[in-house]
Chains A and B, each alone.
Chain A
Amino acid sequence: MNFELVRGICYIAASIFFVFGLKMLSSPATARKGNLVSAIGMLIAVVTALSAMAEIRWAWIIAGAGIGSTVGALAARLVKMTSMPQMVGLFNGFGGLASLLVGWSEFHGRWAGADATELFTMVTILLTVLIGGVTFSGSLVAYGKLAGVIAGKPILYKGQNALNSIILIAIVAVGVFFCTRRLGGVEASGLAGVYVALVVIAAMALVLGVLSTIGIGGADMPVVICLLNSYSGLAACAAGFVINNNVLIVSGSLVGASGIILTNIMCKAMNRSLANVLFSGFGSVTSAEGTGYQGEAKPVSPEDAYLILEAARSVVFVPGYGMAVAQAQHVVRELGEMLSENGAEVKYCIHPVAGRMPGHMNVLLAEANVGYELLVEPQDVNPTMKAVDVAIVIGANDVVNPAAREDRSSPLWGMPIVDVDLSRTCIVLKRSLRPGFAGVDNPLFFKDNTRMLFGDAKASVTQLVSEFKR
């Protein structure tokens, strides 16, 4: 029997499982099964790979897989839903690092044996190490920013883009040297130089990953996480080209495509180009020109807010990152239930960039047991916003800033927002009148139909709930 053929068929089967798994992720009803289907695909691929090994070194494999599985399982079990963005960021980084190591070990094997190596393979080894390295160090920085280990503010300095460009040019130069020294053709004395070149490239990739991520601010993290997600797929894809394996190429490209689409959705939701997110260090630049809207904000007490809500027939919650910080999702769900028991139609409108990763608020509300049919997008709510009695904004700011619609000079101009200012009454839960991450003042706070409920989001919502219980 031809084992190569059987293995090929198994790899195709694994790829099909991945494709159907992703397809089933497009509906909340089938998503969980889809994830399982995808995991079965992974199992098939792993078993097939074991059968392809020239010599199975069980001790090594069990040690590596054992440690990896334990760490992964513990992290998956223990992580809080609010910390999901940084954990996904960290996992991305490990995927990139694994691909880098695969490229490196393949190179080392060829190098040690001085195997004749095609230019194509040299280029793909280079790409695997490069993309894997950028993914790894970039993800670590993203993790640090999201977890609050390093400052979330964009770190900017003079000549930042110039320095990044110099590193990129240096990588290309060393890369050309590396790729044109095909291993088999090099004299023994030249072999060391090729190895040094690869190490230098790996080091520069790590530096580039750090430098290109530190200039990006906290609220732009959804874009960065999506982009790094895409990179981790592309790194696996490049590793597939190195070892000439289709299942790596197929699944790597699926992940790469997924990350690119999400990146695109995030950029559109902020009305900015990818280049603008990556190179401009938003916020730090624009805060200087904040015009400072004039007017009087109308504060409201929880008792009065309760009276407004008690009379409301339709209520829309608009959560933002502040809800995650305050861990307020459970009391928000409780308030939502009380409102619907009171006869109001309750919806939760989630802006695509609310939170620190795409879909972050949806997960938090799902955790709090809010049914997914109540979670809607801005385009579902905006057309009927005028008929909404009360819009409750919890810890969101830039995504409800009407300046995006009204003020051409605003840095947020053109960004799709949730039109809460058009609702009959808008209650904003906020600690202070401080502008949002983008450093842009929010005229919403000074509108006639806006009431400010100052204080910690969780405490305020809890108070509202107890008013209802009374």
Chain B
Amino acid sequence: MDLDPAMMPLLFFIFVLAMLLGVELIRKVPSQLHTPLMSGSNAISGITIVGALIATGRTDGEMAVTVLGTLAVMFAMINVVGGYLVTDRMLKMFKGKDKRGGKS
């Protein structure tokens, strides 16, 4: 599945637009949510799991490809599972006035 050279500009196009979209989205995140933002975006960077899974499924390669792919699956999964869970754990603690029990 080698890359069609005509695809190259298209991939760059997607890359640049996604970058700009990212800048616009993240700019609006208030500083109090920066830590969950980091761990949440960290989980998203575990998207490399897609590449890792495809690598383990290659039939043309050898054992080494499967082993490398499996290791990649493992590390990406730490990122994905750990990242989402810890972000959820943090965000669960952010409560507004009305939702908190008791007075303060």
Chain A interface residues toward B at CB < 8 A: 18-19, 21-23, 25-29, 31-32, 34-36, 38-39, 42, 45-46, 48-50, 52-57, 60-61, 63-65, 67-69, 71-73, 75-77, 79, 81, 84, 87-88, 91-92, 94-95, 97-99, 101-102, 104-106, 108-109, 112-113, 115-118, 120-121, 225-226, 229, 232-233, 235-237, 239-262, 265, 333, 336-337, 340-341, 350, 352, 357-360, 362-363, 366-367, 369, 371-373, 375, 377
**Which chain B residues numbered 51 to 104 have a C-beta less than 8 Å away from chain A?**
51-62, 64-66, 68-97, 100, 103-104
- Taking A71-B82, A257-B26 as given, write out 4 further A-B residue pairs in contact, using a Cβ cutoff of 8 Å, ordered by the A residue number: A28-B96, A63-B70, A243-B51, A362-B32
Whether the pair A258, B22 counts as a contact (CB closer than 8 A) is: yes
Whether the Cβ atoms of A253 and B96 lie closer than 8 Å is no
A359 touches B54 (CB 8 A): no
A19 touches B21 (CB 8 A): yes
| Contact call B79/A94, Cβ cutoff below 8 A | yes
Among B40, B85, B90, B97, point to the contact of A363 (Cβ < 8 A). Answer: B90
Pick from B22, B28, B51, B80: contact of A99, CB below 8 A. Answer: B51
A415 vs B88: C-alpha distance when bound (angstroms): 33
Q: Are B22 and A102 neighbours in the complex by a CB distance under 8 Å?
A: no
Interface size class of B (residues with CB under 8 A): 35 or more
Q: How far is the CA of A49 from the CA of B50 in the complex (A)?
A: 5
Contact for B79 among A77, A98, A113, A118, CB less than 8 A: A98
Q: B35, B84, B93: which has the most chain A beta carbons within 10 Å? A: B35
Contacts of A52 in B (CB 8 A): 53-54, 57
Contacting pair A120 B74 (CB below 8 A):
no
Distance (whole angstroms) from the CB of B20 to the closest CB of chain A: 8
CB contact under 8 A between A120 and B5, given known A76-B86, A113-B60 = yes
- In-complex Cβ contact of B26 among A50, A106, A232, A262 (8 A): A262
> Can you name 24 A-B pairs with beta carbons within 8 Å?
A28-B32, A39-B43, A42-B46, A42-B84, A65-B73, A72-B80, A76-B82, A88-B35, A92-B45, A95-B46, A102-B51, A102-B52, A108-B65, A108-B68, A113-B60, A232-B45, A235-B48, A237-B15, A248-B47, A254-B18, A254-B25, A257-B20, A261-B26, A359-B34
CB of B21 within 8 A of CB of A35, answer no
A46 and B40 in contact, given A38-B84, A64-B70, A366-B93 (Cβ under 8 angstroms): no
Give chain B's interface residues, CB within 8 Å of chain A.
1-3, 5, 7-8, 11, 14-15, 18-23, 25-62, 64-66, 68-97, 100, 103-104
Closest to A242 in B: B51
| Chain A contact residues, majority secondary structure | helix
Kindly state the separation between the CA atoms of A42 and B44 in the bound complex, as whole angstroms. 7
B104→A340 contact, CB < 8 A: yes
B33 touching A233 by the CB < 8 A rule? no
Is the beta-carbon distance between A98 and B52 smaller than 8 angstroms?
Answer: yes
Contact across chains for B53 and A46 when beta carbons are under 8 A apart: yes
Nearest chain A CB to B57's CB is how many angstroms away? 3
Q: Smallest CB–CB gap between B74 and chain A, Å? A: 4
A118 near B56 with CB under 8 A, answer: no
* Known contacts A31-B94, A72-B78, A72-B80; is-contact A92 B70 (Cβ 8 Å): no
CB distance from B89 to the nearest CB of A (A): 6
CB of B3 within 8 A of CB of A101, answer no
Q: Which 3 A-B pairs have the closest CB atoms?
A: A68-B77, A257-B22, A53-B57
Report whether A68 and B96 are in contact in the complex, using a CB–CB cutoff of 8 Å: no
Chain A neighbourhood of B38, CB < 8 A? 88, 225-226, 229, 258-259, 262, 357-359
Q: List residues of chain B with CB within 8 A of the CB of A73.
A: 81-82, 85
A262 to B73, CA, bound (A): 28
Q: Which residues of B contact A95 (CB under 8 A)?
A: 42, 45-46, 48, 75-76, 79
